Structure 1
Amino acid sequence: MHVHRSAPDSAACAATITPRVRASWRRSARYGLTAEEMRPVFTGSVDTGSLLYECGSAVLRGLQATLANEPVSMMITDPEGLVLSRICEDGTINRSLDRVNLAPGFYFAEENAGTNGLGLALADRAPSLVRAEEHYCAGLRGYTCAAAPVLDPVSGGVAGSINLTTWSESASELLLALAQSAAGNTTALMLARGAGHSSHPMPRGEVFRVYADRMRAPDASVLTPGWRTAFAEARSAFRGGRAVAVVGEPGTGKTALASLARRELRRERVLNVRPPAPDDVEAWLELWTPELGKDSTCVIISGVDRLPAWVISELAARLAEVRVHDGMQPYVLTAESAEDMPEELRRLVDAVVEVPALRFRPDDVQPLAQHFARQRRRRDVGFTPQAARALESFDWPENVRQLRQVVREAASRTDLIDLNHLPPEVFTGPGRPLTRLESVERDEIVRCLAEPGTTVGEAARELGVSRATIYRKMAQYRITVPGRASRS
């Protein structure tokens, strides 16, 4: 195997590489790496008990049987680029990979090893093929690496990656397809072996238009106590012509808050754009970025912390060129936290407004619930005291988005929402994920206890178990049904 030591940005190579790889080279240089120096960091242990490791290993063992006589090393990494596992029966390539530290226990993200397959797949959150001379560091130019991110089936975030590495002179046409297939199969197996959660929708890059002349000014039912401070901060920043980022957990209402604050200041149309699927990035950018230059238009760019790295550079360049419209910036960014915002975009932000999670503002639950119920029913909807307590006591891991779904579903069936109109998860405290069988058992117990007037003893008789079993199961599943647990 021959390893070339020329600079990674040589003219011959630069003329043929893709914009993604070129952007990765620039990031590698910013990390302080050189063609001669990699910095793979070793950690003492890896997490071999995770669902990702379990499912990825099962998928790669099956793929290994297909590639039994091929010099292909198959790896699982975590989202930070830590190599968790390496499966390969070819001793020669294994020894070679050990020499460059592409082995379990080493971090191989871009900041550690420069442009490489798994690092690029994690940075851009997209399938990536990096051939010999496309590697930033010379020590990796004897290999071709194909990698694809593994998406968490529940959260939709990046759980890790699958990486396939072979010699640079080997055929690589099918390598990327195999990596994508293995990553997809790992996600599917994680869903099947998980807690029976429904799959999270994958990014599609939707663009939504909201017209100011069709919407009223925000009312008191929307501007709940926990929102008012954030709303006032956003409104003040917009009025001052500052570029604003609204941060908070998924489902807290970041986009809604930004839209409401803009709408109170002036009539304008608002576009909300969401992260695209990896294959749609270029079309996604071309679809909406021309709107930034139009008068009385605001673009809310959601989830910038989930954008591929090369897109972030392109987006930052475009945003840096836009001009203030009538004293207000024409864009707003959202992310989960200020720390998660990419540095290139964070430099463009003048003010960060944080929207607190719903669990930190229980006084907002009832006003929001009444607002969502009225939206669904087109009239006022009541809540029994027990239902109100159940809603206020729940942790709402998916925040306002989850509350809206729960209340709208309940309001579609009644004008007075009681315990039996709420889904089982509302009565369950935080804990480990449940298996499908446990979820069914939990749901049946809640269904019985939530019926008006039902006692624990009556629920036990209906289910054919003892009262002691019901109490034990309630403790096991952290079930709390207001007004029911203490009855005979």
Structure 2
Amino acid sequence: MAGGCVQEGNRLVHSTEHSTPHSSQPATDAGSEEAKVPVGAAAARVAEARSAFLTDESVEPGVVRAPILASWTRSRNFQVPVDHLDLPYETAFDSDSLLARAAGPILAEMSDQLATEPVSVILCDDDGVVLDRRSTDTKLNQGLDRIWLAPGFSYAERYVGTNGIGTALEGRGPALVFGHEHYVEHLEDFACAGAPIRHPVSGKLLGVIDLTCWRREANRMMVAVATNIARRIEETLLDHSGRRELSLLHDYLAACQRNRGAVFAIGDDLLMMNDQARQLVDPADQSSLLSHAAEALSTGRRRQLLVDLPSGAIARVQTRPSWGEHGVHGGVLHVQLVAAEAAPTRSLSLPPPTALPAAVGSGPLWTKCVQAVDRHLQAREWLVLEGEAGSGKRTLARATHQLRNPAAHLRVMDAQDFGPRWLADVREELETGNGGTLVLCHVDTLPPDAMRALADALEPHRESTDPERPWLVATVDRGREDTAADMIELLDSFPRTIEVPPLRHHIEDVAELVPHLIARLTRGSDLTCSPEAMRVLMRNRWPGNVEQLYQVLRKIVARKRSGTIAPADLPAETRAITRRVLTPLEAIECDAIVDALLDTDGNKAEAARQLGMSRATIYRKIRGYGISLPQLADSR
């Protein structure tokens, strides 16, 4: 394929023209310059210019195209390493997204047409993560595998520097990158052309279509082919979007006719509201309302929600999903504002509701959750706290009680300790009527019979107006698939459910949690956390939430009780930026890899040799566990 491939109409034909820097046929990129394939002396001059740029020397004008020079500058600002690839791997990328479904048939057609050519057609999302790669050329596929240009890996500019995918995303337009125009030296054997894909209705950037081939096979018409494929995908998206939005519009109009109140309709890229909704719901409250509703709609079931709004108002929301051929695509909301709680909940004489003695944090999400729980305690309204394991549900209930009723009775009972006396103790607490607080943890773990018995025990007290009735809080771990009728019946005893956010959603609170937890663990000893160690802790996703952070700090305190915590003092697990809690075997393996990398000053090849695994395996493990060692040089 000396001249690459050129598209004529709806088909690709082989081009025998050799591309030269002086060719007269234009093919533009993001900088609206003529995109020329550097060959021979021109390619050597680009390589020299790249070397000059990397050593902070001046680049001769006219040698490097302006879009490429701009991308090199961005890549340097991103601190992309020039001598090796270090790409993140996304294990949970959506290969069945709207973009992937719309592009699938077109990619299959292009793959058939290019079956005899050494070129790959690649689809990426708006983060540069490869969703699909089509090529029948074995050698090219092997070459792409060596540079990790494969599904799940991100080719965003901040990771890979100048390349057709990342540069098209950054420049918001077509991009061509040939040979030594790539920022990272391991990519100079390739040429690529990327074209952005936008949502045809909203204009939102959805992803990139990219053509990649060997540098010697590069053709300056590649960008035209990529752009044409992108337009075809956008046309298909318009088809799909039109059907989905028409269905949602039909549901919205029907709801407006049936309901005189506030009605919203939300889709992936669409928001509609009637005049009543616009007048009733303050713009500052709409974002919170819609985020809660969108999560409820994603379940595909009709639900009724009570949403605490930032303004202090409470919204009762009925959600009705809108269905299409590919599942739920938004839905319709009926909204009513409920009168705010009684005036005492807003009394200025009360301490600030975020100043809980044991529940630390001042991030917006955590603060909103704390305020909601505090309001319900003062209204003596029974409550379910739902959230991921370790997110602080029990701590939040206890801290709210200690803030408002420190002298009153508090009883915490864990359903995981369920036994013959458990239900009897619950009944006794309810009947004593001491005006205190009863916290029932992990009620979702009760056997079905126990759930029914507990619901029966709660029933006589649920509607009681006795001021001595205890404030009852139940905690439920989020993520369980149990939707049995017994569980639903039990939760019906509680008029409100509040979601406790996972730590990764208010990661800014780590800076407050760390000194608080250290003080608890050391009982006031002089141990502090350095800014560098704090940055490592705040980069972690903490899949085990606050409980995981507490256990990490406990390991540190066991070895060091005074002075300053440095990055080297942190356990190995803090280097793994993962989205889940590792199994014991995975944790041991992850720790071994981190220790080997520390022992070899970040030399991955030497670490692999010490561990008795191949270099490919250690690279895969490092990406899978999300191990990050920013302070070490990566010696390959």
Flag the structure with larger Rg.
Answer: 2
| Larger relative contact order (CA 8 Å, sep ≥ 6) | 1
Tell me the TM-score normalised to structure 2 length. Answer: 0.38
Tell me the TM-score normalised to structure 1 length. Answer: 0.48
